[in-house]
Amino acid sequence: MLHSHPLLHLKPPPNPYPTRILSSLRFHIPTELTFSGPGLPNRHLQVFPLLHSSPLKYSSDDNVTATAEDFNVELGRLLALLPEEMRRRVNEHPELQDLIEVVMDLGRKPLARFPSGDFVLSEHPITTEEIQHAVSQVGDFAVDNRAGISRTLHRISAIRNRKGAIIGLTCRVGRAVSGSANLLRDLVKDEASILLIGPPGVGKTTIIRDIARMLASEYEKRVMIVDTSNEIGGDGDIPHSGIGNARRMQVPHTDVQHKVLIEAVENHMPQVIVIDEIGTKLEAMAASTIAQRGIQLVATAHGITIENLVMNPALEMLVGGVQSVTLGDEEASRRGVQKSVLERKGPSTFSCGVEIITRTELRVHRNLEETVDALLLGRNPNYEIRKINQGSTDEFGPILHRHDLFETSRESRVEDSSEINDGSPCYDNVVSEEDSSKEDDAICIFLYGISEASVVQGMKQLKLDDTIEFTDNISEADVLLALQSKLKKNSRLQAATRSRGIPIYISKTSSLAQITKAMQALYVRLCRWF
- 296 lies in some domain: yes
Considering the domain boundaries, does residue 57 fall inside one? Answer: no
pLDDT, residue 18, reads: 46
Cα dihedral across residues 128, 132, 133, 134: positive or negative = positive
Confidence of residue 248 (pLDDT cuts 50, 70, 90): very high
Domain of 219, CATH number, reads: 3.40.50.300
pLDDT for 347 beyond 60: yes
Mean per-residue pLDDT, 199-223:
93
- Give the CA angle between residues 288, 364, 221 to the nearest 5°: 55
Among residues 454, 448, 409, which one has the least CA distance to residue 432?
A: 409
Residue 213's contacts (CB-CB under 8 Å, 6 or more residues apart) are 176, 178, 242, 243, 244, 245, 246
- Residue 475: give the domain boundaries: 443-527
What is the spatial distance between Cα 430 and Cα 502, in angstroms, rounded to a whole number? 22
387 vs 75: CA distance, rounded Å: 28
Q: Look at strands 111-114 and 101-105 and give their pairing.
A: antiparallel
Is 143 a domain residue?
Answer: yes
Domain boundary among 172, 200, 226: 172
Closest to 452 in 3D by CA, of 496, 403, 368, 515: 515
Q: Among the three residues 149, 172, 195, which one is the final residue of a domain in this structure?
A: 172
DSSP state of 214: I
pLDDT (0 to 100) of residue 526 = 60
pLDDT by residue (tens digit) across 30-42? 444 454 554 444 5
Give the pLDDT band (50/70/90) at residue 441: low
- The reply to whether 86 and 68 lie within a common domain is yes
pLDDT at 464 (0 to 100): 67
Residue 472 CA to residue 245 CA, distance in Å, equals: 48
356: helix, coil or strand? strand
Q: In 3D, which of 114, 284, 300 has the Cα closest to residue 205?
A: 300
CB atoms within 10 A of CB 483: 21
**Do 389 and 44 touch, CB atoms closer than 8 A?**
no
Q: Note whether 321 and 466 are same-domain residues.
A: no
**Three-state DSSP state, 56:** coil
* Confidence grade of residue 527 (pLDDT, cut at 50, 70, 90): low
- Rounded to the nearest 5°, which phi and psi values hold at 486? -75, -45
**Does the structure show a pLDDT above 90 at 259?**
yes
86 burial via Cβ count (<10 Å: 0-12, 13-18, 19+): buried
Residue 147 lies in a domain: yes
> Which residues pair with residue 45 across a beta bridge?
33
Contact between 41 and 432 under an 8 Å Cβ cutoff? The reply is yes
Q: 101-118, pLDDT tens digit by residue?
A: 999 999 999 999 998 999
CB 187 within 8 A of CB 352: yes
pLDDT at 197 over 90: yes
- Quick one: pLDDT at residue 504? 86
pLDDT at 16 over 90: no
Q: For residue 525, is pLDDT > 70? A: no
Which pLDDT tens digit goes with each residue over 442-497?
778 888 888 777 787 777 777 766 667 888 788 788 888 888 888 887 877 888 88
Q: Do 466 and 519 lie in a common domain?
A: yes
Q: Which residue has the higher pLDDT, 429 or 216?
A: 216
pLDDT for the residue 378: 77
- Specify whether 356 is located in the same domain as 214: yes
Q: How far apart, in Å, are the Cα atoms of 378 and each of 18, 309, 381, 407?
A: 56, 15, 9, 22
150 plus 189 within the same structural domain: no
Q: What is the mean pLDDT of residues 60-84?
A: 75
Amino acid at 157: S
Same domain, 151 and 186: no
State the total domains in the chain: 3
301 vs 317: CA distance, rounded Å? 12
* Boundary-marking domain end, from 148, 172, 196: 172
Q: Is 400 inside any structural domain?
A: no
**Do 199 and 346 belong together in one domain?**
yes
Looking at per-residue confidence, does 371 or 359 come out higher? 371
The answer on 214 and 143 residing in a single domain is no
Integer Cα distance of 527 and 530 in angstroms: 6
> In the predicted model, is pLDDT for residue 129 greater than 60?
yes
In DSSP notation, 421-483 reads -SSSS---EE--TTT----TTSEEEEEESS-HHHHHHHHHHHT-TTTEEEES-GGG-SEEEEE
Q: Residue 46 pLDDT > 60, yes or no? A: no
Within 10 A of 90 (CB to CB), how many other CB atoms are there? 23
Conformation bin of residue 210: beta by default, left when phi > 0, alpha when psi is -120 to 50: alpha
What pLDDT, on a 0 to 100 scale, did the predictor assign at position 70?
A: 80
Question: Is residue 238 domain-shared with residue 346, that is, in the same domain?
Answer: yes
Cβ proximity of 362 and 354 under 8 Å: yes
DSSP summary character for residue 102? E
Query: pLDDT exceeding 70 applies to what percent of the chain?
Result: 74
**Tens-digit pLDDT profile for residues 399-436:** 343 333 333 333 322 223 223 333 333 333 333 333 33
If one compares 50 and 186, the residue with the highest pLDDT of the two is 186
Instruction: Find all residues with CB under 8 Å of 403, minimum gap 6, and list them.
Output: 33, 35, 43, 45, 384
Poorest-confidence range of 95-99, 214-218, 230-234, 470-474? 470-474
**What is residue 235's DSSP assignment?**
B
pLDDT, the chain, mean = 77
Cα–Cα dist 439/478, whole Å: 13
Alpha-carbon separation of residue 73 from 88, 97, 103, 477 (angstroms): 16, 12, 20, 57
- Hey, is 335 helix, strand or coil? helix
Q: Examine the domain organization and report whether 162 and 208 are in the same domain.
A: no
The residues pairing with 480 across neighbouring beta strands, listed in sequence order, are 446, 504
Q: Are 432 and 409 in contact (CB under 8 A)?
A: yes
| Averaged pLDDT, 329-341 | 70
Q: How confident is the model at residue 323 (pLDDT cuts 50, 70, 90)?
A: confident
What is the end-to-end Cα distance of the chain in Å, rounded? 91
Say if pTM beats, i.e. exceeds, 0.75.
no
